[in-house]
Structure 1
Amino acid sequence: MRPKNTPNDPERRERILRAAIELVQRSGIASVTARSVAAEAGVPVGSVAYYFESVPGLLLEASARVLHLRTGTLGERLAGTRPDNVVRRLAELIHHQLTDQRTTSIVAYELYMLGMRDPKFREVSRASNAQLRDWLAEILPPAQAAHLAAVADGYQLQCLFEEETPSVARIERVLTG
């Protein structure tokens, strides 16, 4: 017998959140509704409302989760970078995000763009954007770090529209351009 006031399904909230992210991956933000998320997670529709105040609230948390995962990859892949190899290492990271993590990158940018219209999403997007800039500022002068972060972010977004992924060498040339 389970104790009073304990969840019957302690993983339900997490399943709902993962289901929302999977729906965005597969079909885009417009596909995320309480019903679609509930069906994907295998839970009653009321569970979505129980754990999240609204679908935008669910998407906000999904956005924070995805962008946090991407910044975690940033730290892992760029540890030990020095001024003399920063552009090469950043080019390798971008290439990795355009190939091995392409789906996650598409989701991240789709959620990131919600920050253009919604102040809550804007804060999540700004924090994510600041991660690369702040990390680069530990290696490079702040103005150079800000410039490189902006070029990297913009170029990666542009590459997601292309059929062919540029090589690491091509990405490196664009970053130094």
Structure 2
Amino acid sequence: MSGTRREIPNDPGRKERILDAALEVIAEGGVHKTTHRKIAARAQVPLGSLTYYFDGIDDLLAQAFARLADTMSLLYRQTVQAAESMAEAEEAVVELICGPAYATDREMTLIFEMYAYANHNEAVSATTRAWLERSRDSLALHFTPGVSRALDALIEGWPMHRAFDDAPLDRRLVAETVHAIVSAAPRLSIDTV
């Protein structure tokens, strides 16, 4: 008789549902208020499911943040990759900074939590480093490595400022700044960064 109970999952999407629930709990109350019980309740799974899939809360949080980074990296890459000219590539960067799809309020909350947690968890620190590298690799489809690094700092940083400002971003200012970085790169030897 083949197929023991362990080999045939009765809820194939459970692990992903738990990770998504963990991100929701983190977004609502922060890492410091995230517990196994809250995650299990949000995912609507038995508490024991968490220990079946994860080696403790640190492992669960690390995998949840990796899921966030993967999801955001995919949107980042798709946005940049769709550009067919330098002007479109610059506009893609502006869209990542100012547009509604990337770095939503919820995602910014999760990013703040991930960055803070990365200071205390090596797995999340590695995820954060890998995410930055993927972002720069996406930008390198159109820009030099130094320009990619500078633009990525804008893409990461400007939405952080937006999260605390009372006024919306000035899209024209963002576009002019992106263009200035791209245009000035050869004169500034920015590729040595």
Calculate percent identity across the aligned residue pairs: 27
Aligned residues: 176
User: Are the equivalent residues in 2 in contact too, given 1:63–1:112 (CA < 8 A)?
Assistant: no
Task: Report the residue type matching 2:123 in the other structure.
Answer: K
Task: Report the residue type matching 2:72 in the other structure.
Answer: R
Q: How does 1:88-167 map to 2 (within 5 A)?
A: 88-97=91-100, 101-167=104-170
**Root-mean-square deviation (Å):** 2.4
Task: Report the residue type matching 2:43 in the other structure.
Answer: A
Q: CA deviation at 1:82?
A: 2.9
Distance 1:11 1:134, change over 3 A: closer
Q: CA deviation at 1:43?
A: 1.9
- Taking the aligned partners of 1:25 and 1:35, their CA distance within structure 2 comes to 16
Q: Which runs of 5+ in 1 are unaligned?
A: none
Identify the residue that residue 188 of structure 2 maps to in structure 1: none
Find the structure with the greater CA-based Rg: 2
Point out the more displaced range, 122-131 or 96-105: 96-105
User: Are the equivalent residues in 2 in contact too, given 1:91–1:169 (CA < 8 A)?
Assistant: no
Point out the more displaced range, 54-63 or 86-95: 86-95
TM-score (norm 1): 0.85
- The one of 79, 82, 85 equivalent to 1:82 is 85
TM-score (norm 2): 0.79
Identify the residue that residue 53 of structure 1 maps to in structure 2: 55
Q: CA deviation at 1:109?
A: 3.5
Identify the residue that residue 33 of structure 2 maps to in structure 1: 31
SS in 1 for 2:155: helix
Summarize deviations over 1:20-51 as a string: whole Å, max 9, x none: 01112222222211111111112222211111
- Taking the aligned partners of 2:103 and 2:152, their CA distance within structure 1 comes to 21
- Taking the aligned partners of 1:44 and 1:110, their CA distance within structure 2 comes to 26
Structure 1 runs (4+) deviating above 3 angstroms are: 97-100, 173-177
- Taking the aligned partners of 2:103 and 2:58, their CA distance within structure 1 comes to 28
User: Are the equivalent residues in 1 in contact too, given 2:27–2:109 (CA < 8 A)?
Assistant: yes
Q: CA deviation at 1:98?
A: 7.5
Identify the residue that residue 4 of structure 2 maps to in structure 1: 4
- Taking the aligned partners of 2:102 and 2:170, their CA distance within structure 1 comes to 10
